[in-house]
Amino acid sequence: MTDPVAALLDASGWAGAARAALPGDASARGYLRLARGAETAILMQAPVATSADRDSLAAFLRVGAHLAALGLSAPAVIAADPAQGLVLMEDFGDATLARLLVSDPATARAGYDATAEALDRLALAPVPGWAARPDAEGQAAMIGLTLGFLPPVPMLADLPARLAEALATHAGGPPVLALRDCHADNLVWLPDRAGPTRVGLLDYQDALALPLGYDLASLLDDPRRDVPDAWRADLIARFATAHGLDRAASRLATLSLLRNLRILGIFHRLARDGKPRYRAFLPRTAALVARAVADPALVALRAPVDELLHLTGPWAEAAA
């Protein structure tokens, strides 16, 4: 039987290329870096056993094509065999903003600025018809993953409803396409490009239509690493000016709360299911939740969120 990988590489001119495995992420996807002389490419191997797997791969290709059409830097597809879960694509290299934060903060800051520009361009574009558009209640329901790990205590019963009210009040307006996993590990510095194309975008298959600012909240309130306070303040001020927002900080606090309440459950599940490194991120995630709910606009959420942090405390303490 023909090897699907060999067939794809042969058909695309990459047969015989050297292969090196790359570290995995939170997903079940695998990645190989191929090299032929000075040229490199990335082979993504995605699961396709279930309809959900196949839908995720189709979404990756669809969203990537949309980003490219907007002039943003999504990896160009060289060849693909979706039925086999294979995508051969452009290699952006290893200069993620996560690495640059450690080795070259000045360049990392330029990368964060370029990401903000890219998010602005995405926000100005019409939301594609294929993007799901959850309303405030649907958005708040995303924290159900975390609540599902907790006992049914009365204090938490109306947390989704209170969160939905906060989203409608403080993060309303027309939605934009949100990449949903916009953080420094998924952003690659491309110094030979200009403007918003200087940052390569990765891991966007879960994109949805969500409130303006969701991806910026993801970038700035990152459970995996600390973003300098001065950068955060500058980028929030820039966001407020660019979009004419009077209460940008409360908007971003609300969206950060939504995202990181969900991530508490995601990281807990990953740690439980054989990826213990995610347990180390739980204390920072909890701290980001606490900071977000401290925003004056979110006072109605403080009691249930405090209770949730109390109940999830043992998850974070196990990482201390």
Q: How much is the average pLDDT of 166-174?
A: 97
Identify the pLDDT of residue 318.
57
CA triplet 242, 132, 171: central angle to 5 degrees? Answer: 40
* HSE-up of residue 196 (Cα within 13 Å, Cβ side): 16
CA distance 189 to 51: 34
Residue 316 pLDDT class (50, 70, 90 cuts):
confident
For the residues of 76-129, what is the DSSP string, one character each?
PEEEEEGGGTEEEEE---S-BHHHHHHH-HHHHHHHHHHHHHHHHHHHHSPPPT
CA distance linking residue 147 with residue 157, whole number of Å: 9
Predicted local distance difference test score (pLDDT) of residue 27: 67
- Cα–Cα distance between 75 and 67 in angstroms, integer? 10
Cα atoms in the Cβ-side hemisphere of radius 13 Å centred on 65: 9
Q: What domains does the chain contain, in order, with CATH numbers?
A: 4-90 (3.30.200.20), 97-317 (3.90.1200.10)
The mean pLDDT of 183-198, rounded to a whole number, is: 97
Choose the weakest-confidence range: 25-29, 103-107, 171-175. Answer: 25-29
Span 81-110, pLDDT tens digits: 999 999 999 999 999 999 999 999 999 999
pLDDT on residue 1:
58
Please tell me the predicted confidence (pLDDT) of residue 93: 96
Average pLDDT over residues 212-216: 98
> DSSP label at 15?
T
pLDDT at 29: 86
pLDDT tens digits, 119-157: 999 999 999 999 999 999 999 999 999 999 999 999 999
pLDDT for 24 beyond 70: no
Ordered DSSP codes for 36-87: ETTEEEEEEE---SSHHHHHHHHHHHHHHHHHHHTT-BPPPEEEEEGGGTEE
Q: For the residues 11-31, what does the mean pLDDT come to?
A: 85
Mean pLDDT across the chain: 95
Q: Distance (Å, rounded) from C-alpha 250 to C-alpha 254?
A: 6
Q: Say if residue 26's pLDDT is above 60.
A: no
